[in-house]
Amino acid sequence: MNIIVYSQYAAYAAIFLGFALVLSRSLNWRASSKFDVSKAIASGNTALGFRRMGAQIALAIAMLGVFLGKAKPDFLNDIYHSLGYGALAIVFIWISLLVIDKVILPHIDNNEEIKNGNIAVGVVELGALVMTGILAFASIYGDSGTWLSSLGYFVLGQVTVILLVYLFEWLTNSNLLDNIKDGKVASGVYLASKTIAYGLILMGAIKGNGGSSDILQSLIQFGVVAGIGIVFLYIAELLIDKLIITETTVHEILESDNVAAALQLSSIKVGMALILGVAIL
């Protein structure tokens, strides 16, 4: 047994627990103008539970990019590196919540909806936050991860997902965002899984850059791989809709708030994106 190695693992675990506490307290403060978070959780507010679940999972995924990446020359330097990226991950989570509230779910006061127990909104936030963690992991992990690349890919990822959400609304003429405002959980599950799936696809796009130092080339590669992956995922969605969800359609699932069908559709979609993003792209 290597005591030094296990001591390092214990230090990493302590760093994560510390940041998890900071994240929890900061999110309490963020929502304090609307409601008492501790009382809401104690009373069983499931919507808030989904938000907190997404935030903590996002933090863990992001910090995996630090812990699994290339170690720094000495342990102390590695600790400083981990602390810096942990703080950056919390900033990303905060920005992501703001983007969800103001852009992805416009005309919806997310804190007010969470306070009132709108599970659909909580599920959407979970999905978008997990996507944020995935992008942070992909941009930090490996030899080429830098503060600048992490910020750049985070911004690109947020913009891409925003465009895709509105493109879906336009192409399908669906009432997805209105359904979420009305508390239809199936629509929340569907949008959450879509953001997670796109996050996995974008992770493959980030990996596909191969550590290029040319910023323009990196952006072009990111766009090409992301576009190809999203086309593949769209085709996969069509096949799932025709071959697996045979007794109904996506539109009917969302309008009737069929959560069971939405969960089945979403799990297959995320699974397909995981294969595309990790093994193929």
In tens, the pLDDT along 199-243 reads 888 887 776 555 555 666 776 777 777 777 777 777 777 777 777
Q: Where are the alpha helices (DSSP H) in 173-214?
A: 176-181, 185-207
Q: What is the mean pLDDT of the chain?
A: 82
pLDDT tens string 150-201: 777 788 878 877 887 777 777 666 788 889 999 999 999 989 998 898 888 8
Whether 44 has a pLDDT exceeding 90, the answer reads yes
Whether 267 has a pLDDT exceeding 60, the answer reads yes
More confident residue, 278 or 188: 188
pTM: 0.87
Cα–Cα distance, 26 to 123 (Å, whole number): 20
Number of domains in the chain: 1
Q: Which of 249, 253, 203 is nearest to 225 (CA)?
A: 203
Buried residues in 102-134 as b, exposed as e (16+ CB within 10 A)? eebbeebebbebbbebbbbbbbbbbbbbbbbbb
More confident residue, 206 or 123: 123
Per-residue CA distances from 144 to 66, 78, 147, 177, 199 (Å): 12, 16, 10, 37, 19
Cα–Cα distance, 177 to 179 (Å, whole number): 5
Region of poorest pLDDT, from 33-47, 110-124, 250-264: 250-264
Cα–Cα distance, 129 to 135 (Å, whole number): 10
Q: Which of 56, 29, 196, 21 is nearest to 111 (CA)?
A: 29
Per-residue CA distances from 76 to 12, 18, 83, 102, 276 (Å): 12, 17, 11, 40, 37
* Side-chain half-sphere exposure of 78, counting CA atoms within 13 A: 15
Q: Which DSSP string do the residues of 73-92 spell out, in sequence order?
A: SSHHHHHHHHHHHHHHHHHH
Whether 143 has a pLDDT exceeding 50, the answer reads no
Residue located via tokens 């978070």:
37
Cα–Cα distance, 135 to 211 (Å, whole number): 15
> Which residue segment(s) compose the domain that 138 sits in?
3-280
Degrees (nearest 5) of the Cα angle 71, 152, 221? Answer: 95
208 DSSP assignment = T
Q: Which of 162, 13, 148 is nearest to 101 (CA)?
A: 162
Cα–Cα distance, 57 to 130 (Å, whole number): 6
Cα–Cα distance, 138 to 153 (Å, whole number): 9
Q: How confident is the model at residue 10 (pLDDT cuts 50, 70, 90)?
A: confident
Q: How confident is the model at residue 146 (pLDDT cuts 50, 70, 90)?
A: low
Count CB atoms within 10 A of the CB of residue 40. Answer: 18
